[in-house]
Structure 1
Amino acid sequence: MSEKKDIVFCTGGGCTAKLGAGVLSRILEKLPRGEKDPNLLVGYDSRDDAAVYQVTEELALVQTVDFFPPMVDDPYIFGQVAAANALSDVYAMGGEVKTALNLVCFPESMDLNVLGQILQGGAEKVAEAGGILAGGHSIADTGVKYGLSVTGLVNPKKLYANDAGQPGDRLILTKALGVGLICSANRVGEVTKEQMDGAVQSMTTLNKTAAEISRKYTVHACTDVTGFGFLGHLHEMMGRGLSCEIDVKHIPVLPGARESADAFLYTAAGQRNRNHVGAAVQFENVPFSMEEVLFDPQTSGGLLMAAAPDEAEKLEQELQNVGLPARIVGTITEPGEVEIFVRG
């Protein structure tokens, strides 16, 4: 592979660049719905991870799109992370990746070798997912942005919605949290190389294996943890009036993340997440740094699954057996006074 060139203007990309959930909701709720199509099983009004359109009784299309500015200085790694992040939405719906289209914004004045490295990283992740890179679209822009439009397939009867969990379900998180905090601290030189390497390894790991393993078990709901943070996406999972209890002692956290929070090196997106969902959360004996980890926006984060209680431990063990830091982190409960109760 050719020598990589740094994207020296990396100042805050990845899923930290997303619009806040509150702002986005206010915009989307004003859009005209149009005539309802019964084959559209999941649309933008459900706050789910991707759109799902049924074609036959046993076949539906899963469609998603995601792109953002760089959150790392290496263009090849940036391409890998952006692709893995976009592909994740298909896995969160229980689907299989089939095709992908590149989405590129790139300055005409910049070295085209940088673009080549970004696209190489993305193409390799699409291939690893078992998909076909079928084309794309590019525009000249003042800054670099990259991602994918992805199409997958799923059996409608085996579709994972994000809010179909049931009381008693155990919540399983498949990746460690803290990517946003570590990337933020890295931009000012406040993390070690080993800590940043750990974040990169997490972000470039596809959720493919976790999704494939999950299909052998009873999983009632699933989402991937990205820009709205663990608590923001958990809030969406409780959208049908459910509550849950979370034990922070079981939350996997990347080395360096809590130290970055203690040094106040967190992101504006994390604070937007706190402002949006904080009223739905009650903390008990949870350190401030751990609160920040739970609000931290994740780029290419893990899957958060609601698994049947009698199968959750076996699912957790199988995920751990393939090297994933998966843990049972909590339980869905009947509706209570507090939607999300987090204990230390």
Structure 2
Amino acid sequence: MTVRLTQYAHGGGCACKIPPGELEAMVSGLSAAPVAGRAELLVGLDTGDDAAVVRIDGGHALILTTDFFTPVVDDPYDWGRIAAANALSDVYAMGGQPVVAVNLLGWPRDVLPTELATEVLRGGLAVTAEAGCHLAGGHSVDDPEPKYGLAVTGIADPDHLLRNDAGVAGVPLTLTKPLGIGVLNSRHKATGEVFGEAVATMTQLNAESARAAVAAGIRCATDVTGFGLLGHLYKLARASNLSAVIDAKAVPYLEAARPALRAGYVSGGTRRNLDWVSPHADLSAIGEEDALLLADAQTSGGLLVAGELPGHPVIGELRPPTTPTLTIR
């Protein structure tokens, strides 16, 4: 019997994130005072960046992050690969390299065979091995919904981090993976159709893009995941006290994304993303279809880089601060 893992979860992948507005209200005021006599905190909660970073000595910084979610595809091995690539992405988005990770697994042990959980873990192991990152143990709980991800520690040069608050006006914006993952995952959950292009995109590591950005002297980036391109760009522009312009026609999409959207496969997370960012964006030049795709909740998406990376499309530009913060033309 074929088990459809996506049917055991209320949502899938990064589309099941708590909506950005709710999350910001939840953590408002929780920034901690610096801890004297310990490692210096370089990146914390203040700007909602992709990971925490501490300086451990003059030339080294530790990056710490965690990410886990419910099944985004039915194949357990692919789900493990996708979840691992997504968790590692936060380290790459800070300009670092992952060093060691541990598994985070929630499993309905009386409902789903443990053999499927083994396949999920095997998928995570395959991707961490590809990344040159140790995967050593972890934690598991009996959970009504299956969940999987990683807690990851990476290293970086503290003077060459990629941060979401380091944008400069006049710098181009580059996107390293196409959008449309969210609508294809929604269609997969509803119909069982498998989209190999989406799986290949989600399992592709952001390692090379991150290395290229750091080597090029770029200092500002984020990854595009559950809050969509518009949501993550808004956070970057706000953190950098800038605005941004996006050329909608320059944004790349997976081939099957528009047909999936037109067939109605839009997640609740995508609609919540658009509701959150709309008051801060001029969307008058585009229709609802483009707006939803730009807000599409991605899982293991690409990097959004404030700088130009050869081989990847430039989709817009950072500009001096204006109201609204985002303009889509």
Shared fold, TM over 0.5: yes
Structure 1 runs of 4+ with >6 Å offset: none
Could you tell me which of 310, 315, 326 is aligned with 1:329? 315
How many Å separate the matches in 2 of 1:34 and 1:219?
29
- Alpha-carbon offset, residue 79 of structure 1: 0.1
Alignment of 1:1-344 (within 5 A): 6-7=4-5, 9-11=7-9, 12-31=11-30, 33-35=32-34, 39-109=40-110, 110-189=112-191, 193=194, 196-239=195-238, 240-307=240-307, 312=308, 315-316=309-310, 320=311, 326-343=312-329
1:94-122 deviation line (CA, Å, top 9, x unaligned): 00110000000011222111011000000
CA distance in 1, matches of 2:116, 2:56: 40
Secondary structure in structure 2 of the residue aligned to 1:148? strand
State the SS of the aligned residue for 2:190.
coil
Structure 2 residues not aligned, in runs of 5+: none
| Structure 1 residues 112 and 26: CA distance shift in structure 2, 3 A | same
**TM-score normalised to the size of structure 2?**
0.94
Structure 1 gap ranges (5+): 321-325
TM-score (norm 1): 0.90
Check conservation: 1:175, 1:302, Cα contact below 8 A: yes
CA contact (8 A) 1:4 1:76 kept: no
Shift of residue 36 of structure 1? Answer: 5.1
Counting aligned pairs with the same residue, the percent is 40
Contact 1:178 1:293 in 2 (8 A): yes
Is the 8 Å Cα contact of residues 201 and 301 (structure 2) preserved in structure 1? yes
Please tell me whether the aligned partners of residues 95 and 210 of structure 2 are also in contact (alpha carbons under 8 angstroms): yes
CA contact (8 A) 2:89 2:300 kept: yes
CA distance in 1: counterparts of 2:315 and 2:6, whole angstroms: 38
SS in 1 for 2:168: coil
TM-superposed deviation, 1:211: 1.2
Give distance in 2, aligned partners of 1:54 and 1:30.
23
Deviation at 1:31, TM superposition (A): 2.7
- Residue pair 1:68, 1:82 contacting (<8 A) in 2 also: yes
1:323 corresponds in structure 2 to none
CA contact (8 A) 1:10 1:71 kept: no
1:341–1:8 Cα change, 3 Å: closer
Flag the 1:224–1:31 CA change in 2: closer, same or farther, 3 A: same
Local SS of the residue matching 2:289: helix
Whole-Å Cα distance in 2 between the matches of residues 104 and 18 of structure 1? 17
**Alpha-carbon distance in structure 2 between the residues aligned to 1:298 and 1:287:** 20
Distance apart, 1:185 and its partner CA: 1.7
Instruction: Give the root-mean-square deviation of aligned CA atoms.
Output: 1.7
Q: Which letter maps to 1:141?
A: D
2-structure distance, mates of 1:342, 1:336: 13
The question of whether the paired residues in 2 share the 8 Å contact of 1:259 and 1:289 is answered with: no
- Taking the aligned partners of 1:184 and 1:41, their CA distance within structure 2 comes to 37
2:84/2:127 contact within 8 Å kept: yes
Instruction: Report the Cα distance in structure 2 between the residues aligned to 1:140 and 1:288, rounded to whole angstroms.
Output: 41
Structure 2 residue identity aligned to 1:161: R
- For the 8 Å contact 2:13–2:70, the answer to whether it is kept is yes
